[in-house]
Structure 1
């Protein structure tokens, strides 16, 4: 539930920033194509950014990238507390199902209208006569025409050009996309505003195409006349959309000298939001830490190896060590209450006699997780020391431990990359025999 709450919050925050930029900078500009794709990108990125996590490459020092790392382990505390999904996940899923069903019903209603009405096929569209049952509108490559209207030839031509602009610019695809995004983000009030802004941008763009080389004043009168006959089939693009006064004003607000710096601001805003929401200071990546070459560091005049010919091994092997850690590490109560998750990197040194020393967290998440990780590693018995050219040497190592709160099945334990099954009980007698304290 914690991850879902974080996604919902970040999604709303992203869309709020994106829409604020549109409202303050682009709303009154006649760069309709740019506004259209910016609004579509706003909805798309508001979903993607909270889901994407990118580690910054410069977060670690050279010393860390040379250290040997062990396979990652994941701490999951929830098996002993509950199973199944949370009420928030249920509500969220029901909301998505409701809006998807609503969209499907709209598409079905349009499909029924197409199959039952009289049709004429033209070069790049299909004319569907509604016989006055519905107003003139377009959807995909279908143009639904109210043939009961009393219009002059010039007026019919202008309405036709308007609807053909919707068809040729593929505005219906935008509508379907925004409806699906709305279903996924139904909880987000900003999506409603973005949806309305996108529909109006479609109308501005179609109005602009319909008045190319024609009398704008006559078109304005026609638009005012048509608004008196509104029905509202939301899925289509209507000639008589709402906010008519805004459309009338935008017809005379064609600014061909838009300051291009205004376009840079929305792009910069998206880049900044991505950096804040999706970019993280990384922990130690396994592919960065894998053995590269024999390296030696100096500490108080003593050699500490980061790569050796014979690697240190815990008593009973790595599986026994992972089972021990997985059995006795606990998710701190403070971290649970605060919903703290993340990866802890614990660095330690295997001495020449196999004992563990210099245990320290080089990157942690706090809330007791760092101390708990250090405590469990400190309880491990002596290892078999690493050897270089036949002699025992000090070796520095790192163990990454991930604390997660969203796993809903399995035991309350650590799961490593080794062959350890979630539901497998560790053999406590075997652990005791190889030196681990199991009480």
Structure 2
């Protein structure tokens, strides 16, 4: 899970940096909308490795399966320290509580729109349902309705340009984007990059709506003055497309900015290359199958041969010393002995070109913290003597079974 969150976070950071530095200032609003939404989708889907691709330039990874070690409770000291499990439980509870609070807030906001639509009078204006509400508010839109203060609407204080602005939000289905990012923010509330994407998406919505109004009324200067008149109103509605959202100098400049077809095409090409490279980097196939049992794992290992290596990595003192290191430092959690659990866990780790160990992964776990304890013991290893391939240091992926046997 931690590995998945790190990869998705890195992808979010890369995609957002590309948007902020490369796309945000360009008048290519429809492409930017698609880019921002797909960036969110790719960032959370690519790390799942639902589709794995071969590494670039045929750089296959050698995989070596170790014999592993057998841990017996009669030979080790039981670990009565449950602080790690307690910490995981506390963090899980905190996460679920925050998710619950955000979920309740989300549905309260949805109900508020439903309630406004039911209790207030409505009119049809230019094929748009206008809900007239009593409380002072800026024009805003949600789903298929525009919400406007009743008194201002009946006295003609709401210019047609502002209604057209909200109609553009409805026509382009911006509510769907907002609901999508809100759901992501509930699930990944701890990731601040989601908030940045949310702001970028909403601002891009305003660019799109502004463009629609200016195309219809052909009076940019008048429309800019209208926006500035409403900019002092800071009231915004959650989940809605709000007229005064981020009235900034950038937004006003965008209305008069000229397009460069060549520049836009070039930037789209570069962005496409970045996306393809991200797909290769974060979906490169090492072991792309899930392990159900030991026999399945043996069949899978045959696919990746280490015969092409000049020299395999070596543990200082020999592989038997590595087994001793892991066996002596492995502590069976107390819960395992109480449950009299037996079985085999499988751990992956990478021996890097400098001999250090990295990319620890639990391929198969027995539960009760066995997998995490195995990784902790393996991490105590000093640097290995790196392996070589074609005369150069090479990364090698190791798999190590940990067999647990408890007293009956």
Q: Please give the per-residue CA displacement for 1:131-168, whole angstroms capped at 9, x wherever unaligned.
A: 35322110010111224338997962211211110000
Question: Residue in 2 aligned with 1:253?
Answer: 257
Per the alignment, do residues 170 and 150 of structure 1 end up closer, same or farther by CA in structure 2, a change over 3 Å counting?
Answer: closer
TM-score (norm 1): 0.60
Q: Conserved in 2, the CA contact under 8 Å of 1:129 and 1:146?
A: yes
State the Cα distance separating 1:39 from its structure 2 match.
0.9
CA distance in 2, matches of 1:328, 1:192: 42
CA distance in 1, matches of 2:153, 2:126: 26
Question: Residue in 1 aligned with 2:168?
Answer: 165
1:263 and 2:285 are equivalent in the alignment: no
Indicate the RMSD between aligned Cα atoms, in angstroms.
4.6
Q: Conserved in 1, the CA contact under 8 Å of 2:347 and 2:362?
A: no
Match 1:129 to one of 125, 132, 143: 132
CA distance in 2, matches of 1:328, 1:153: 75
CA distance in 1, matches of 2:168, 2:345: 64
Q: Conserved in 2, the CA contact under 8 Å of 1:342 and 1:402?
A: no
Per the alignment, do residues 341 and 243 of structure 1 end up closer, same or farther by CA in structure 2, a change over 3 Å counting?
Answer: same
Question: Residue in 1 aligned with 2:310?
Answer: none
Match 1:51 to one of 48, 51, 56: 48
Question: Residue in 2 aligned with 1:190?
Answer: 193
Q: Any unmatched runs of 5+ in structure 1? A: 70-74, 291-325, 345-364, 372-399, 404-411, 415-424, 428-439
Question: Residue in 1 aligned with 2:121?
Answer: 118
Bigger proportion of residues as helix: 2
CA distance in 1, matches of 2:277, 2:53: 14
1:237 and 2:241 are equivalent in the alignment: yes
CA distance in 2, matches of 1:150, 1:327: 72
Question: Residue in 1 aligned with 2:361?
Answer: 341
Match 2:4 to one of 4, 7, 15: 7
State the Cα distance separating 1:10 from its structure 2 match.
2.1
State the Cα distance separating 1:27 from its structure 2 match.
0.6
Match 2:281 to one of 262, 276, 283: 276
State the Cα distance separating 1:343 from its structure 2 match.
5.3
Per the alignment, do residues 282 and 185 of structure 1 end up closer, same or farther by CA in structure 2, a change over 3 Å counting?
Answer: same
168-177 or 178-187, which deviates more = 178-187
Q: Please give the per-residue CA displacement for 1:294-340, whole angstroms capped at 9, x wherever unaligned.
A: xxxxxxxxxxxxxxxxxxxxxxxxxxxxxxxx6588989xx9x9883
SS of match in other structure, 1:211:
helix
Q: Please give the per-residue CA displacement for 1:118-141, whole angstroms capped at 9, x wherever unaligned.
A: 112467532101235322110010
State the Cα distance separating 1:189 from its structure 2 match.
1.3
CA distance in 2, matches of 1:181, 1:25: 24
Matches within 5 A, 1:360-371: none
Question: Residue in 2 aligned with 1:104?
Answer: 107
SS of match in other structure, 2:38:
helix
Per the alignment, do residues 331 and 156 of structure 1 end up closer, same or farther by CA in structure 2, a change over 3 Å counting?
Answer: closer
Tell me which structure has the larger Cα radius of gyration.
Answer: 1
Question: Residue in 2 aligned with 1:434?
Answer: none
Per the alignment, do residues 124 and 328 of structure 1 end up closer, same or farther by CA in structure 2, a change over 3 Å counting?
Answer: closer
SS of match in other structure, 2:115:
helix
Question: Residue in 1 aligned with 2:384?
Answer: none
CA distance in 2, matches of 1:140, 1:283: 41
Question: Residue in 2 aligned with 1:226?
Answer: 230
TM-score (norm 2): 0.64
CA distance in 2, matches of 1:367, 1:16: 32
SS of match in other structure, 1:138:
strand
SS of match in other structure, 2:232:
helix
The count of aligned residue pairs is 318
Per the alignment, do residues 254 and 112 of structure 1 end up closer, same or farther by CA in structure 2, a change over 3 Å counting?
Answer: farther
State the Cα distance separating 1:35 from its structure 2 match.
0.6
Per the alignment, do residues 149 and 80 of structure 1 end up closer, same or farther by CA in structure 2, a change over 3 Å counting?
Answer: same
State the Cα distance separating 1:55 from its structure 2 match.
4.5
Question: Residue in 2 aligned with 1:307?
Answer: none
State the Cα distance separating 1:104 from its structure 2 match.
1.4
SS of match in other structure, 2:131:
strand
CA distance in 2, matches of 1:149, 1:228: 17
State the Cα distance separating 1:109 from its structure 2 match.
1.5
Per the alignment, do residues 338 and 232 of structure 1 end up closer, same or farther by CA in structure 2, a change over 3 Å counting?
Answer: same
Question: Residue in 2 aligned with 1:41?
Answer: 38
